[in-house]
Structures are given as structure tokens and as C-alpha cells.
Amino acid sequence: MEEEPSKSKQVSGFSKLSKRGKLGWIVNNFFKDPELVMKELVSYWHHDEDEQKIIDGMSENTISNFILPYSVAPNFVINQREYAVPLVIEESSVVAAASNAAKFWSERGGFHARVISRIKEGSVYFLFKGNFQVLENNKQALLGEIKSGCKDITRRMDERGGGILDLAFEDLSNEEPDSYKLTLYFDTCDSMGANFINSVLESSSKILERWIYSPEISESATTYYETIMCILSNYTPRCVAEAWVTCPISALGKINGMLPDEFADRFYKAVRIAQIDPSRATTHNKGIFNGIDALVLATGNDFRAIEAAGHTYAARSGKYSSLSECTIDNDIFTFRIELPLSIGTVGGLTKLHPIARRSLELLGHPSADELMMILASTGLAQNFAAVRSLVTTGIQKGHMRMHLQNIAWQLNATTEEFAAIQAHFADKTISYADVVNFLDNLRSNNGVIAQ
């Protein structure tokens, strides 16, 4: 006989409990030492109740705050402007790598960046039985109706110079019977615009329905329309920025002991491998997003949206590939990235989150275009640093050195023990097992290192 699943941890009305009530229920039901855990989680509450209310308001069922380091990578020069880039990330080496690459390129002309275009989009998916060609032929009239019918929603965006730009129909009925798509294109100025786009789409679906049944469009009594859903697309192939660095190969200098010509060749090859091999491309692009996500988070933007768009863009040729490319032309080394970056610098969390606000201040209150360029440059810096390590010393040398502190903490090393660990591993390859052995050895010899 099958055992009944335990219901002891099912709860109803959890969301109605006070914050302390929720926390109490969680610690009592899921932890061995409820009192200790309660104390610990409460200790991460913000001391200012108003600030805490703002943070709690960002989600539901909050019981504490989850802390991540807030770091800065200085020495970025992008289009001749200097920046210190704020980064929220939990992985060691990322900030050091970004800072290092930023400094390296600041001495070689800095990063160059440009927004290729900043058009966002969303679609009404619908079922339709009728003459699709008539919809196609009359779409400009529909655009006019949507623009005037959505005036209430778009007024402020229109005043800021944005709004609804255009529309397009797409026939999906070959793959799913009677299925079609109406895509609207938007300029959302400096805002990410997700709510704006979704509101316009929902109103547009009603306008579309009326329009389709109107005598001008509906050719017969059998015409049928039904909205399936209205949603923005996180794939924004028309909201794209590029960044690049370039210099004569000789100006690269010696890199991690490697001569510039050899370095440039090996670097070029490594990027080519990421272009042709999806398995490497995934890791290569992950390195890019180490930097981009960290800055997206620090500025209160949606890193899931940015990642989703980036990976789809990386597969736009039909095969998943690198987001960056390297060229060597007449002894000039150029490294370039291009990717979609749908972000905002006004509205949403950018104003609400106290530290996101500071991040934008630190960056000099950038427009959305400027932040897109900083993001692309940060991704490129991260990618340059990772590939530079990979083709010279290997990634583990620098990575494990940065990781040494985390290992020491995990092993509860004292300050003196950490100093001994650092000295011992200064010229050695670091592995977790080796640090454990070293520390065991040190402790069993009362602090004297056995040779």
C-alpha cells in the first residue's frame, strides 16, 4: 500500500500571518534550533523600519533579507568617460577580474561602446479564422486605431518622446492551427517599460478584436477572433548595444609572461572555439554574464530578462555561439561584444531600492542608452579577463587565490592560520584538499608548519 504523503508542513493562510508569525512558523517547522535560527534571520532585518518596509514590499512572504556583497570595479573608461562600476555578485574573482581588465584597457584607449537600437516589443497571440491577407493589407489603419485607443496609457511616454512605434502581423498557423501574432514595437525611453508594454498589449487586444469584427475587415459572418495572451517579449533583438576594445598587438605588452603575438593568437583561437562549439560558448557567455548580471542587479534591473535575451541572441544563427568576437587585422587586435540589453534607469526598482539608487548615482545618473553601453563594456571586460587567464596561466591560479579566503573561513581558520595558509600557498597550486591537509598539519603541530 502506498504511504500517504505527510501533511504536517502544509499551511493555509501563511501569507496573512505577520512577518514574525511567518518566521516563527518556518523556524518551528523546518529547523532543529528554532530559537537560534529566528535570532539569526531577525538579525538581518534592516534597523530602519521604513527601509525594511520598502524591501518587504518588493516580494511576498518575506522573513528576512538575503545579503550579497556590493562591490565596485574602478578604472573603467568608456567612450572617454571614467566610471567605477557597482557589482553585486557572490563569486570570488569576478570583481578583481573586471577591475583588472578595466585598468588594462584604460591604458589602451578604453572601451568604445554604442547603442545599435533601442526598440522593445511585445505580442498579442490570437486565434483567427478569416482572410489573414486582409489584416496584413490594413495594418497601418490598425496602428492608427491602437495609437489613439491607447492614448490614456501612452500619454506620458509619448510626451517623453517614446510610445508605440510600429506593428507587424505574423502567421503561426502552419505550426499551430488558426494561430497568429500581432507584435507591437515600442520606445520606452529610459524605463524598462515592462508594465507599460503589457498594459498597451492588453488594451490593443481589445482594439484588435473590435477591428477584426468591423465591417471594413470582416469579410464574412464566419470570421472568428480569440485572444490567447498578451505579453512583452524578453527577446529584444532590436534593443542592442555593442562595445569593443582595440589596439596594436604590440601595445598589448607581455601578458602573464606571454609575448603579445602569441597571446593575441591564442586569445583569437579561444574566442573562435567559443564561436564554433556551443559547449564552450555556454561557459564563455556565462563569464560575460558574471559581469553583466552583477551590474544589472546593482542597478535594480531584471537580470533574468537580460540573461534570457542574451542566450537567445547567442543562438540567433540557429546554433548557440559566443556573444563576443575577436579579430586580428593588420596587427590590430580588436575584441567586440554585441548583445540585447533591455534595461531602465527610471521607474521600477531603480528608484525604490536604496542601493540601486546609489548605484545609478555612482554611475552619474546614466540614461538607459548609457547604462546599456556600460553593461556591454562590463561584459566585455569580464570576458577579456577570463579568456586572458584561460590562454595564459589557466583559470585556477587566480581563482583559487581569491577563493583561499573562503576556504580558510569554511575551515574556521584564525587570522594567524590564514596568514600561514597565504604564505604557504603563495607559490603553489591551491586546492581545497591541500588547504585542509595543510591546516590539519599546522594544528596538529601547534602552529608550526611541518616541512
Q: Interface residues with ligand MEV (CB under 6 A)?
A: 91, 283-284, 286-287, 290, 386-387, 390, 395
Of 286 and 351, CB closest to ligand MEV: 286
Point out the catalytic residue in the list 121, 302, 353, 370.
302
d(CA 341, CA 85): 17
The minimum distance between CB 290 and ligand MEV, in angstroms, equals 5
Min CB(312)–ligand MEV separation in Å: 20
DSSP annotation string for 347-383 = STHHHHSHHHHHHHHHTTS--HHHHHHHHHHHHHHHH
Q: What are phi and psi of 297, to 5 degrees?
A: -65, -45
The residue (of 120 and 336) whose beta carbon lies closer to ligand MEV is 336
Helix, strand, coil proportions of the chain in percent (round to 5)? 50, 20, 30
d(CA 165, CA 342): 16
Three-state SS string over 254-275 comes to: CECCECHHHHHHHHHHHHHHHH
Catalytic residue among 48, 91, 226, 440: 91
Rounded to a whole number of angstroms, the minimum distance from the CB of residue 293 to ligand MEV is: 11
Minimum separation from the CB atom of position 377 to ligand MEV (A): 17
Give the closest residue to 67 by CA, choosing from 37, 97, 36, 46: 46
- The torsion of the CA quartet 5, 9, 11, 15, rounded to 10 degrees, works out to -130
Say how far apart CA 199 and CA 150 lie, in whole Å: 9
CB of 288 to ligand MEV, least distance (A): 8
Quote the DSSP letter at residue 449: P
Q: Which three cell numbers stand for residue 200?
A: 498597451
Q: Which residue matches cell numbers 508594454? A: 197
Q: Residue 100 or residue 290: which is nearer to ligand MEV going by CB?
A: 290
Alpha-carbon span 87 to 374, nearest angstrom: 12
Question: Is beta strand 224-232 parallel, antiparallel or unpaired with respect to 179-187?
Answer: unpaired
User: Which of 223, 176, 179, 181 has its CA nearest to residue 205?
Assistant: 181
Which residue lies nearer to ligand MEV by CB, 211 or 303?
Answer: 303
Grid cell digits, residue 247:
589596439
- Side chain identity, residue 407: I
CA distance 439 to 446: 10
Phi/psi for 290 (5° steps) reads -55, -45
Residue number, 283 or 414, with CB nearest to ligand MEV? 283
Does 286 qualify as catalytic in the annotation? yes
* 416 given a catalytic annotation: no
Which CB, 36 or 276, lies closer to ligand MEV?
276
Please give the residue whose beta carbon sits closest to ligand MEV in the complex: 287
Choose between 350 and 382: whose C-beta lies nearer to ligand MEV.
382
46 as an active site residue: the answer is: no
Query: Shortest Cβ distance from residue 376 to ligand MEV (Å)?
Result: 17
The single residue of 139, 286, 351, 424 carrying the catalytic annotation is: 286
Q: What is the DSSP letter of 346?
A: B
Minimal distance in Å, beta carbon 401 to ligand MEV? 14
Catalytic residue among 112, 120, 353, 399: 399
Residues noted as catalytic: 91, 286, 302, 399
